Amino acid sequence: MADFGAEADLAGFRAEARAWLEENFPPSLKGQPNIMMAMMEGLQADGDLALWKSRMGAKGWGTPTWPAEYGGGGLTPQQARVLQEEMARLEAFNPLMAGMGISMVGPTILDYGTEEQKRRHIPPIVKGEIRWCLGYSEPNAGSDLAALQTKCEDKGNHWRINGQKIWTSGAQWSDWCGMLVRTDPTARKHDGISFIMIDMKQPGIETRPIKLIAGASPFCETFFTDAQAEKGDMLGELNNGWTVGKRLLQHERASQTGGRFATTPPPPLQEIAKRYVGVDDKGRLDDPDLRPRLAAHLMHARAHGLTLARAAAESKAGAGNAASVLKNSATAMAQTRAELTIEIMGNRGLGWDGAGFSDDEVEAVRAWLSGKAMSIYGGSAEIQNNIIAKRILGLPDMTKSD
Amino acid sequence: MAVLTDEQSMLRDQARAWTQDKAPVSAFRKMRDSGQALGYDPATFAEMAEMGWAGVIIPEAYGGSDFGYLSLGLILEETGRTLAASPLIASALAAASAIVLGGSDAQKQAWLPKIATGELVATLAVDEGARHAPEKTALSAVTSGAGYALTGGKSFVLEGMAAGLLVVAARTSGKAGETNGITLFLVPADAAGVSRTPLELADSRGAADIAFENVAVGPDAVLGQVDKGWALLEKTLDRARAGLAAEMLGSAQQAFDLTLDYLKTRVQFSQVIGGFQALQHRAAKMFGELELARSCVEAALAAIDADAPDAAELASLAKGHAGETLFLVSNELIQMHGGIGMTDAHDAGFYLKRARAAEAAFGGRAYHRDRFARLNGF
């Protein structure tokens, strides 16, 4: 049964959110979610973008459900959904999403941080002043993350860190890094790991961007040579980092389920298909093999959307194991869409650069290539299947990963 | 599981307890082995009707409870789990929908209360060939006196032998393949000129081929409007599709649960086979597909209850996705059980056979992909 009191409150909040957004969202940024992608890849905010970022940061609405005492919006999940709907209505976007602070590090600090850590680290994330990256993978610790070797020693008044991380997303643009380090080399591999927060702006840390198949360099190799972290910057207890680190990955999966990021829906693929492929005299796509495959993809996309809505209604979304199902589903959907898009575009879906191709065509090619990473990062599709098999289905763990 | 009202939760719990107790798979096996020609046990169906299951979508004024399609779907999911055979799909879902949607007050008064109590089994007679193709309706209805005379044939009519009332799609104008010119008729199964031939199907359920030879009906047999029956037929079929998808979801869920149990108990190479990653990942894939299928089925049923504009699209999505999922899970049920799953003594074969029969009814995956594309303008 509907709670009409709560419904009325929500309507009141909707009016408040709409008024505030109309007053504060710079119209010049309307309908430009691509700016967010550029910010993810290092674009510095200036002009209206900087203004929008500072206004949202001060209001705490970039982190709508975080506690107000640390600068967050203090909204209920229902209010946050209303806020998102109102932003979508204005074709606005969240300007604070760049880096890993909002989606992963922040929620984990709120889960495991001391009061002092929360007061120190949360407000700069809320305001977008500090950009975070994550030091997880190493050259010899990919899917088998717990094999990580980066060493962290207690030097009395600070921690000393030596080793190498890889696939550090946005390390070259980041101010701080949340990283997993080995603090007890003699313990069982999952038991000797700790979670350290470290200032990236120091001589002991060097980042080298890695150029990827799509042409951009969103990831780095990151080298630590006698780097220093403050004593108070260990998140969670010494040698309990695996637990903290796994929680952070749950937040990561939740952020990759396709439910939080998009504020503007992509153009319907069938319209692109009709434009490039043409239609027969009955209005059907003029390629009898492509047509049912496109339909199957759109049906999957619809099923995925309905599942996100159902998970939200049943309040089991967010940091849980169901996120593994949604991550794999979202990944398969996005990769299939990208493959279909370039297939539909034919030769024009192969453009790399230059005046011979439209922006949309070049973007389709780049997105197709960069999207291959989706089933690798954040726990590969195979790792998600291990998680589903073990934690949801209760099948035996043969990888001894936990 | 959708967020249910208290009434719906109670209904689901009651349906689950009752089917597990009174209509388990062993009861289906007994029915099959007895050679029951109807393809269901009338006494079991009578008990279902007594609990109100045959009147869930029928308005209270005509003897039903008007609980809606999501509620009926909850029951069908449970009957799908145990393969409880009954005319619920043909009568309480499909035929009842046609009359609720298109019937005059007199027609509703005449037929719905009997459907609700289960004393009458009604069914839809639409397809005429091997594959679902409602627009290809050719069975002709020509004016004859004040009424009509029906001539032609219908195939694969669900519960065709048990039915006392047939909701027949006929052509009153135009030609096969056109959506204009189709009219629905209510024809008593014992009308002169109706002859029925039982079909023995792999899933042991009831179905029949039905021939119509100059079957005379009065003007009051017309359901809805003459020549304009297509929209009513589509709406009716969409309700049948979404409800059958709920049954298929239940069958798929149970087939998966059986498989998962087996993975946890069968030992080879000194370990349970569920420890092998090759099987774990296939199990994980099935689990994900089941989650998506449940979302589609519940959304379609809810859209029908709300008379939402995208109900047709969602019904095709639900039938298509439930079909996809049941196809996958019923095959893996056999494969992961190995040799034991191939034996008649095991229940696995029942789920496989039912899966394909349900797939064929009211359009399979290919039909609904095509329809989804049409509804989305390509």
The residue ranges of every structural domain in chain B are: 6-120, 123-226, 231-375
Instruction: Give the pLDDT band of residue A41 (cuts 50, 70, 90).
Output: confident
Q: Is A293 among the domain residues? A: yes
List, for residues A187-225, the tens digit of each pLDDT value.
999 999 999 999 999 999 999 999 999 998 889 999 999
CA-based nearest residue to A173, from A207, A138, A140, A148:
A207
Return d(Cα A296, Cα A312) in angstroms, integer: 24
Q: Is B126 left (phi over 0), alpha (psi -120 to 50) or beta?
A: alpha
Quick one: tokens of B228? 């304009």
For chain A, say whether B61 makes contact (Cβ under 8 Å). Answer: no
- CA-to-CA distance for A284 and A297, rounded, in angstroms? 16
Q: Residue A323: what pLDDT?
A: 83
> Which of A270, A290, A302 should we substitute to test contact with B (largest number of B Cβ atoms within 10 Å)?
A302
List the catalytic residues of A. Answer: 252
Whether residues A361 and A265 share a domain: the answer is: yes
- Given an 8 Å threshold on Cβ–Cβ distance, is A313 in contact with B3? yes
Q: How confident is the model at residue A256 (pLDDT cuts 50, 70, 90)?
A: confident
- Kindly state whether residues A189 and A70 are assigned to the same domain: no
Say if A284 is an interface residue toward chain B (CB within 8 Å).
yes
Question: Which of these ranges, A314-328, B64-78, B80-94, B345-359, has the smallest mean pLDDT?
Answer: A314-328
Question: Which residues in chain A touch residue B284, judged by CB atoms under 8 angstroms apart?
Answer: 384-386, 388-389, 393
- Regarding whether A384 and A264 lie in a shared domain, the answer is yes
| Domain membership flag for residue A296 | yes
CATH class given for the domain over B123-226: mainly beta
Chain segment B10-40, per-residue pLDDT in tens: 999 999 999 999 999 999 999 999 988 899 9
Predicted pLDDT of residue A267: 76
Contacts of A389 in chain B (CB under 8 A): 274, 277, 280-281, 283-284
- Average pLDDT of the residues in B181-192: 98
CATH number assigned to the domain comprising residue A217: 2.40.110.10
What is the model's pLDDT at position A321?
A: 63
Inter-chain CB proximity B374 and A284 less than 8 Å: yes
Chain A residues touching B263 at Cβ < 8 A: 395
- Tens digits of residue pLDDT in A90-110: 989 899 988 899 999 999 999
* Domain count along chain A: 3
Asked if A153 and A91 sit in the same domain, the reply is: no
Separation between Cα atoms, residue B129 and residue B144, nearest integer Å: 26
Q: What pLDDT does A5 receive?
A: 64
Work out the average pLDDT over A370-378.
Answer: 92
Half-sphere exposure of A197 (CA within 13 A, CB side): 27
pLDDT score, position A34: 72
pLDDT score for A9: 83
Question: Is B271's CB within 8 Å of A396's CB?
Answer: yes
What dihedral do alpha carbons B292, B296, B301, B307 form, nearest 10°?
A: 150
Domain boundary among the residues A98, A118, A148 is at A98
- B6-120, CATH topology level: Butyryl-Coa Dehydrogenase, subunit A; domain 1 (1.10.540)
Q: What pLDDT shows up at residue A315?
A: 65
**pLDDT surpassing 90 at residue A261:** no
Residue of B349 and A402 predicted with greater confidence: B349
Any domain includes A251: no
Beta strands B122-125 and B165-171, pairing class: parallel
Q: Which domain holds residue A266?
A: 256-392
Nearest to B378 among A285, A302, A396 (CB): A285
The torsion defined by the Cα of B256, B261, B267 and B272, in degrees rounded to 10, comes to 80
Q: Is pLDDT above 60 for A265?
A: no
Residue B302 is predicted with a pLDDT of 97
Q: For A51-85, what is each residue's pLDDT tens digit?
A: 999 999 999 999 999 999 999 999 998 899 899 99
Burial of B289 (C-beta count, 10 Å sphere; 0-12/13-18/19+): buried
| pLDDT of res. A231 | 96
Number of helical H runs and strand E runs in chain A:
12, 8
- Asked whether residue A1 carries a pLDDT value surpassing 80, the answer given is no
Is residue A399 included in any domain, yes or no? no
Q: Which of A195, A210, A241 is the last residue of a domain?
A: A241
Q: CATH number for the domain including A277?
A: 1.20.140.10
Note the pTM of the prediction, 2 decimals.
Answer: 0.87
Cβ within 8 Å, pair A325-B287 = yes
A261 & A224 share domain:
no
Using an 8 Å CB-CB cutoff, list chain A residues near B374. 284
Taking residues A170-189, report their average pLDDT.
Answer: 95
pLDDT at A111 over 70: yes
pLDDT at residue B274 in the model: 97
Radius of gyration of chain A from its Cα atoms, rounded to whole angstroms:
22
Of A310, A314, A398, the CB nearest to B277: A398
ipTM tops the 0.90 cut: yes
A310 vs B295, B366, B378: nearest CB = B295
Contact B292 A307 (CB under 8 A): yes
Average pLDDT, chain A: 90
Q: Is A264 a residue whose pLDDT tops 60? A: no
- Residue range B231-375, CATH number: 1.20.140.10
pLDDT at position B1 is: 59
User: Does A319 score more than 50 pLDDT?
Assistant: no
Closest CA of chain B from A374, distance in Å: 17
Q: Given CA atoms A384, A385, A388, A391 in this order, what sign does their dihedral have?
A: negative
Q: Which residues of chain A are within 8 Å of residue B271 when distances are taken between CB atoms?
A: 396
> Do both A69 and A166 map to the same domain?
no
Put simply, whether A296 touches B (Cβ < 8 Å) is yes
pLDDT at A263 over 70: no
Boundary residue ending a domain (A77, A98, A119) = A98
What pLDDT sits at residue A266?
67
Per-residue pLDDT averaged across B133-157, rounded? 97
Residues A74 and A151 in one domain: no
User: How confident is the model over A331-344, as pLDDT tens digits?
Assistant: 999 999 999 999 99
The whole-angstrom separation of Cα A71 and Cα A83 is 17
Q: Do residues A175 and A224 both lie within one domain? A: yes
With respect to residue A111, please indicate whether it lies within any of the assigned structural domains: no
B188-197 pLDDT, tens digit each:
999 999 999 9
Mean pLDDT of chain B: 97
